[in-house]
């Protein structure tokens, strides 16, 4: 399986997130930095909370059925 696409997409995502308000970061303007990046800690906090509440588990790639659109 080729992994270059997802890795490249993740790298571009990190660049976009980091560059969305770099002027405030370099200038030390805390309120602007907080308003630009507040979604990151919220997401990182809600993701494990969702996984715990829904009791979801990671599925290994080799265990996934990717052959049919309906998932069998």
* pLDDT tens-place values along the chain, 72 residues long: 677 888 899 999 999 988 888 898 889 888 998 888 899 899 999 989 998 999 988 888 888 877 877 655
> What's the predicted TM-score (pTM) here?
0.56
Give the per-residue pLDDT at 46: 94
pLDDT value of residue 72: 54
Q: Which pLDDT belongs to residue 54?
A: 93
Q: What is the pLDDT of residue 53?
A: 93
> Which candidate, 43, 46, 44, places its Cα nearest to that of 54?
46
Question: 17 and 40 in contact (C-beta within 8 Å)?
Answer: yes
């Amino acid at each position: 399986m080729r992994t270059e696409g997802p890795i490249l997409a993740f790298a571009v995502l990190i660049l976009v997130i980091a560059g969305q308000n770099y002027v405030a970061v370099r200038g030390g303007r805390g309120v602007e930095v907080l308003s630009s990046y507040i979604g990151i800690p919220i997401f990182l906090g809600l993701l494990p909370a969702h996984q715990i509440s829904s009791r979801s588990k990671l599925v290994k790639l080799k265990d996934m059925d990717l052959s049919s659109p309906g998932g069998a």
